[in-house]
């Protein structure tokens, strides 16, 4: 584990993000073109090639969903129902209302909030199963009033992990398809014989999924280009090294490209965390993945104080930021750039992944500088509306015309003046 003193290290070393996936653009472009041209035929081919699934029916049946739901243990069903409720209770505060402004005679202005007709939710299913992703993406869409929610997820040898289907049933997904990867994104963007075209695609995925979302943006809307996973822990010298190391590994185990960073004001804690990471890696079931993440992208930065640590965090703008200090609210206003903030020593990032309520679909790769977590807002659009009586327009038509002429747009000007025989024709 790399340990570096902030005062003696270049900014390039401090803020380097390590290895990233390359060489996927052309592969993804070919897949998208194939799906766009050949529809379901292409999807059947990719299901067999990538997931060892031979099928002539892509949609999950009601019987398959019921079978999966019954196969999941009661304790897990209880937990996902409570998680769903927590997510609902948090996101309901994000629901916006349309508004009307009628403060001037003869003028009515306003904004309509309109739910999307159809949303596509992508749920990964490669090295792990993510029922939490189902809940985090579907619950805000349901709150927004989306008419139809379509989910795609890979089926290994024709089977989707039962916990994914149980979460989908619990959350209220309308239709589910056994398709993963870039081909699923293409199908959602363009539509095929089986999979309907959606208005927006949400949900995380590997480098191929992220690239596919990037390439179809504009044909369809997307939530963000998310991934790989990141965590930055700010910890003072009173923290438990065992706890900090465990929190860092909670993200490292996601992906070999994931990033886990500790910023601390204690060299002693830095050394202890490095030792703990090595010890915990040896007993981690996903050791190979987590070790590659730590070796390529992990680092420990020793800062002069916690305030300097927050400056570093604001520059990195991490997906997940843990502030492991005794009085975290004293520092909250100073944190400007983070996807989700976990306050105090009793708030592991995993709490946000599964249970607390705030969304876990978050901006990564420094994009927390200008973007936000997934929310109800992602599943609505807004239309402005304007109404003027003839008298109200008459009072301002010459101002409008004057403004338009300043921009060199005479037809604009005339469209206001013509209603009062002032256009000169």
pLDDT tens, position by position, 261-301:
999 999 999 999 999 999 999 999 999 999 999 999 999 99
- The pLDDT confidence band at residue 93, using thresholds 50, 70 and 90, is very high
pLDDT at 22: 64
Q: Do 247 and 231 form a contact (C-beta atoms < 8 A)?
A: yes
pLDDT at 157: 86
Active-site residue (options: 319, 322, 349, 360): 319
Percent of the chain's residues with pLDDT above 90: 88
pLDDT at 11: 63
Weakest mean pLDDT among 107-116, 223-232, 286-295: 223-232
Q: Do 55 and 47 form a contact (C-beta atoms < 8 A)?
A: yes
Which residues pair with residue 299 across a beta bridge?
Answer: 2, 261
pLDDT at 126: 65
User: Does the active-site annotation cover 254?
Assistant: no
User: Does the active-site annotation cover 275?
Assistant: no
The answer to whether residue 127 scores a pLDDT higher than 70 is no
Active-site residue (options: 211, 230, 272, 320): 320
pLDDT digits (tens, 9 = 90+) for 208-226: 999 999 999 999 999 999 8
Weakest mean pLDDT among 12-21, 50-59, 277-286, 367-376: 12-21
Burial (CB < 10 A; 0-12, 13-18, 19+), residue 157, is: exposed
Kindly report the number of other CB atoms within 10 A of residue 145's CB atom. 14
The pLDDT mean for the chain works out to: 94
The answer to whether residue 25 scores a pLDDT higher than 70 is yes
- For residue 248, the surrounding DSSP H or E stretch is helix 241-252
- Per-residue pLDDT, averaged over 386-406, amounts to 97
Closest C-alpha among 91, 89, 115 to residue 375: 91
- The pLDDT confidence band at residue 56, using thresholds 50, 70 and 90, is confident
- Per-residue pLDDT, averaged over 38-47, amounts to 96
Closest C-alpha among 188, 151, 148, 156 to residue 167: 151
């Amino acid at each position: 584990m790399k340990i570096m003193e902030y005062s003696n290290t270049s900014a390039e070393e401090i803020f380097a993000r390590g290895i990233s996936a390359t060489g996927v653009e052309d592969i993804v472009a070919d897949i998208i073109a194939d799906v766009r041209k050949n529809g379901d035929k292409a999807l059947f081919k990719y299901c067999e090639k990538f997931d060892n699934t031979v099928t002539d029916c892509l949609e999950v049946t009601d019987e398959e969903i019921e079978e999966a739901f019954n196969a999941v243990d009661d304790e897990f069903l209880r937990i996902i129902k409570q998680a769903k409720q927590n997510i609902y209770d948090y996101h309901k505060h994000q629901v916006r209302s349309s508004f009307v402004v009628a403060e001037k005679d003869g003028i009515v202005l306003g904004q309509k909030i309109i739910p999307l007709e159809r949303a596509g939710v992508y749920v990964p299913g490669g090295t792990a199963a993510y029922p939490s992703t189902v809940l985090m993406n579907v619950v805000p869409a349901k709150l927004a009033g989306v008419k139809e929610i379509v989910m795609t997820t890979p089926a290994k040898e024709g089977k989707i992990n039962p916990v994914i289907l149980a979460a989908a049933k619990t959350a209220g997904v309308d239709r589910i398809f056994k398709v993963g990867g870039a081909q699923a994104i293409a199908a959602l963007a363009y539509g095929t014989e089986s999979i309907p075209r959606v208005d927006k695609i949400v949900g995380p995925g590997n480098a191929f999924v992220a690239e596919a979302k990037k390439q179809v943006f504009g044909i369809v809307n997307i939530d963000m280009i998310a991934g790989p996973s990141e965590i930055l822990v700010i910890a003072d010298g009173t923290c438990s090294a065992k706890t900090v190391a465990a929190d860092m590994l909670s993200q490292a185990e996601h992906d070999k490209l994931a990033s886990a960073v500790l910023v601390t004001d204690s060299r002693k804690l830095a050394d202890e965390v490095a030792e703990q990471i090595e010890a915990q890696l040896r007993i981690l079931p996903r050791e190979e993945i987590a070790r590659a993440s730590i070796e390529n992208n992990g680092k420990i930065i020793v800062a002069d104080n916690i305030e300097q640590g927050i400056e570093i965090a604001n520059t990195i703008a991490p997906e997940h930021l843990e502030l492991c200090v005794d009085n975290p609210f004293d520092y909250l206003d100073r944190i400007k750039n983070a996807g989700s903030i976990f306050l105090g020593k009793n708030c592991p990032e995993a709490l946000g992944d599964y249970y607390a309520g705030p969304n876990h679909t978050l901006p990564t790769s420094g994009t927390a500088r200008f973007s936000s977590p997934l929310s109800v807002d992602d599943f609505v659009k807004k239309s402005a509306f304007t109404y003027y009586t003839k008298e109200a327009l008459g009072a301002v038509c010459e101002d409008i015309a004057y403004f338009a002429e300043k921009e060199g747009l005479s037809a604009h000007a005339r469209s206001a003046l013509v209603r009062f025989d002032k256009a000169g024709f």
